[in-house]
Structure 1
Amino acid sequence: MSAPLFLFSGVGSDCRMFTPVIDRLKDDFAIVPWDMPGYGGKPLDDGFTFAGMADAVVEDMNRAGIARAVFLGHSIGGMLAQEIAARHPGRVAALILSGTTPVFGSPDGEFQKQFLAARLAPLDQGVTMPELAQSFAKDLLGSNPDPEAGPTATTLMSELPEQSYRAGLTCLVTFNRREELARIAVPTLLIAGEQDTNAPLKTMQRMAEKIRGARIETLPETGHLAPLECPGRFAEAVRRFLNDLP
Structure 2
Amino acid sequence: MTAVPVVLLHGIGGAAWGPTLPALAPAPVLDWPLPGYAGTPLLRETSFPAWATALAARLDAEGIARADLLGHSIGGMLAQEFALAFPERVRRLVLYATTPAFGGRDPSFAERFLAERLAPLDAGKDMAALAAETLPPMLGPAAPPGAAEAAIAAMAAVPAEAYRATVRCLATFDRRAEIARIAAPTLLVAGERDPLAPPRTMERMAQAIRDSRLVVLPGAGHLAHLECPDAFNAALRDFLRAAREDAAPSPAPATEP
Q: What is the TM-score normalised by the length of structure 2?
A: 0.91
- Tell me, in whole angstroms, the C-alpha distance in 1 between the residues paired with 2:145 and 2:126: 25
1:144 aligned onto 2:142: yes
Report what 2:32 is aligned to: 34
In the TM superposition, residue 26 of structure 1 has moved relative to its aligned partner by: 4.9
Regions of 4+ moved over 6 Å? none
Report what 1:20 is aligned to: 19
In the TM superposition, residue 137 of structure 1 has moved relative to its aligned partner by: 2.3
Once the two structures are superposed, the pairs formed by residues 1-246 of structure 1 within 5 Å of their partners are: 2-13=3-14, 15=15, 17-22=16-21, 24-245=22-243, 246=246
85-94 or 108-117: which moved more?
108-117
In the TM superposition, residue 108 of structure 1 has moved relative to its aligned partner by: 4.6
Does structure 2 retain, via aligned residues, the 8 Å contact 1:222–1:229?
yes
Where does structure 2 lack aligned partners over 5 or more consecutive residues? 247-257
- Tell me, in whole angstroms, the C-alpha distance in 2 between the residues paired with 1:33 and 1:48: 19
Equivalent residue pairs, number: 243
SS of the residue corresponding to residue 40 of structure 2 reads coil
- Tell me, in whole angstroms, the C-alpha distance in 1 between the residues paired with 2:233 and 2:193: 19
227-236 or 68-77: which moved more?
227-236
Q: Which amino acid aligns with 1:109?
A: P
Q: Which amino acid aligns with 1:184?
A: I
Q: State which structure, 1 or 2, has the greater radius of gyration over its C-alpha atoms.
A: 2
SS of the residue corresponding to residue 41 of structure 1 reads coil
Q: Which amino acid aligns with 2:9?
A: F
1:6-60 deviation per Cα after TM superposition (whole angstroms, max 9, x unaligned): 00011012x2x111111x2354221110000111121223242111110111111
Does structure 2 retain, via aligned residues, the 8 Å contact 1:3–1:68?
yes
Does structure 2 retain, via aligned residues, the 8 Å contact 1:138–1:150?
yes
Does structure 2 retain, via aligned residues, the 8 Å contact 1:5–1:71?
yes
Identical positions, percent? 46
Where does structure 1 lack aligned partners over 5 or more consecutive residues? none
SS of the residue corresponding to residue 184 of structure 2 reads coil
Does structure 1 retain, via aligned residues, the 8 Å contact 2:24–2:237?
no
Q: Which amino acid aligns with 2:8?
A: L
Does structure 2 retain, via aligned residues, the 8 Å contact 1:72–1:96?
yes
1:113-140 deviation per Cα after TM superposition (whole angstroms, max 9, x unaligned): 1111111122111111122122232111
Q: CA RMSD in A?
A: 1.4
Report what 2:252 is aligned to: none
Does structure 1 retain, via aligned residues, the 8 Å contact 2:3–2:26?
no
In the TM superposition, residue 106 of structure 1 has moved relative to its aligned partner by: 3.0
210-219 or 43-52: which moved more?
43-52
Does structure 1 retain, via aligned residues, the 8 Å contact 2:4–2:67?
yes
SS of the residue corresponding to residue 187 of structure 2 reads strand
- Tell me, in whole angstroms, the C-alpha distance in 1 between the residues paired with 2:148 and 2:100: 27
Report what 2:249 is aligned to: none
Q: What is the TM-score normalised by the length of structure 1?
A: 0.95
Q: Which amino acid aligns with 1:21?
A: T
